[in-house]
């Protein structure tokens, strides 16, 4: 079975994000970029399926700027077999909207015919949490989102999902779209030999136009702003005091 894993290049999770002075977005100049952490988990899960003999090829795909090939190389160094870069923007500040991404992925699926797609549940830059679900709708495949455990059972996947209030286990028919949650696994480091091997693995470059997808944004970003600075808290000595303070603050 071939597994397709979409990966996104985002601001590294360790970076202290700065909003641009004109409020038009986030400042990406001289900022460390990395693979979206949920996508890293998705790549790791695909590699584990391959190691367990449940998958035989892992194809990673990234849609965005040319620099996303570094993100793909990271996935190849972790253990993916080959990569597809779909260049859909020139400017690193351009974010491709989930529906456009899903349409391109649908076209990639039509060409590659994978038996399974594992995606991150969301990207940590704009937290849309939409691409996996939209892709399921476009392909008509089953979806199993927020996975914390994945098993392959014949022509089905058994997926434990993290839902409000607990865990839900569902069985979906393959091919399917799975989106990875935080606790699915702990991604491995790329080993030195695999980093060197990644150089030689194939990386195909395409454009959004090759798939006939219009990536023009449908959404308008009105304003980007820093979250409000958190006010210093106070310590209360008793429940009575807590209740009194909450009433004072108009919260009760």
Partner 1 sequence: MTFEISYEQRMLVDTVRGFIKDELTPLEEMIEQTGALPDDTARAVFKKSSALGLYGMNIPEEFGGGGLSCLDQMMVEEQFGHTTDILIRRAFGNVYEVLLSCTGAQVDRWLTPAVKGERVCSIAFTEPGAGSDAAGIKTKAVRKGDKWVLSGMKHYISDGSFSDFFVVTAVTDPSKGHRGISMFLVDKGMPGFSLGRDQAMMGIRGTSHLDLHFDEVELTDDHLLGTEGEGLKLALSVLGRVRLAQVAARAIGKSTKILQMTLDHARDRHQFGQSLGDFQMVQQMLADSAIEINAARAALWDCAAQLDAGQDVRTKISALKVQGAETLGRVVDRAVQIYGGMGFSKDLPIERYYRDARIYRIFDGASEVHRSVIAKTMLKGSTSVFDPWSA
| Residues forming the site for partner 1 (CB under 8 A) | 34, 70, 73-74, 77, 189-196, 198-199
Q: What angle, 0 to 180 degrees and rounded to 10, lies between the N-to-C axes of helices 68-78 and 37-51?
A: 30
**Alpha-carbon gap, residue 23 to 145, rounded angstroms:** 33
Closer residue to partner 1, CB minimum distance, 32 or 218: 32
Shortest separation between residue 36's beta carbon and partner 1, angstroms: 15
Shortest separation between residue 53's beta carbon and partner 1, angstroms: 20
**Alpha-carbon gap, residue 106 to 100, rounded angstroms:** 10
Shortest separation between residue 194's beta carbon and partner 1, angstroms: 8
40 touches 180 (CB < 8 A):
no
Helix, strand and coil content of the chain, in percent to the nearest 5, comes to: 30, 30, 45
- Judged by DSSP in three states, 94 sits in coil
Closer residue to partner 1, CB minimum distance, 65 or 157: 65
3-state secondary structure 166-219: EEEEEEEECCEEEEECHHHCCCCCCCHHHHHHHCCCCEEEEEHHHHCCCCCCCC
Q: Provide the pairing of β-strand 2-6 with 116-120.
A: parallel
Closer residue to partner 1, CB minimum distance, 75 or 123: 75
Closer residue to partner 1, CB minimum distance, 34 or 185: 34
Shortest separation between residue 40's beta carbon and partner 1, angstroms: 11
Shortest separation between residue 117's beta carbon and partner 1, angstroms: 25
Q: Where are the beta strands (DSSP E) in the chain?
A: 2-6, 9-11, 33-35, 57-64, 82-87, 116-120, 142-153, 156-163, 166-173, 176-180, 203-207
Closer residue to partner 1, CB minimum distance, 192 or 251: 192
Closer residue to partner 1, CB minimum distance, 126 or 194: 194
Shortest separation between residue 199's beta carbon and partner 1, angstroms: 7
Closer residue to partner 1, CB minimum distance, 40 or 95: 40
Shortest separation between residue 188's beta carbon and partner 1, angstroms: 8
- Judged by DSSP in three states, 223 sits in coil
Closest C-alpha to 222, from 24, 20, 27, 21: 24
């Amino acid at each position: 079975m071939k597994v397709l894993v979409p990966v996104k290049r985002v601001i590294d999770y360790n970076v202290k994000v700065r909003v641009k002075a004109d409020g038009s977005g986030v400042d990406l100049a001289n900022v460390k970029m990395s693979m979206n952490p949920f996508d890293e988990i998705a790549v790791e899960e695909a590699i584990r399926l391959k190691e367990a003999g449940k998958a035989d090829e892992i194809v990673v795909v990234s849609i965005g700027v040319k620099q996303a090939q570094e993100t793909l190389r990271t996935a190849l160094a972790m253990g993916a077999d080959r990569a597809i870069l779909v260049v859909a923007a020139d400017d690193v500040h351009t974010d491709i909207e989930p529906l456009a991404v899903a349409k391109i992925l649908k076209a990639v699926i039509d060409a590659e015919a994978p038996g399974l797609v594992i995606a991150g549940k969301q990207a940590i830059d704009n937290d849309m949490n939409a691409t996996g679900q939209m892709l399921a709708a476009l392909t008509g495949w089953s979806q199993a989102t927020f996975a914390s455990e994945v098993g392959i059972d014949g022509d089905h996947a058994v997926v434990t999902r993290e839902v409000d209030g607990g865990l839900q286990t569902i069985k979906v028919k393959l091919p399917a779209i799975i989106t990875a949650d935080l606790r699915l696994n702990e991604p491995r480091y790329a080993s030195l030999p695999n980093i060197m091997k990644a150089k030689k693995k194939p990386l195909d470059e395409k454009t959004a136009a090759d798939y006939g997808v219009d990536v023009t944004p449908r959404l308008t970003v009105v304003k980007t702003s820093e979250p409000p600075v958190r006010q210093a808290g106070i310590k209360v000595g008793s429940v009575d005091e807590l209740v009194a303070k909450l009433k004072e603050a108009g919260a009760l």
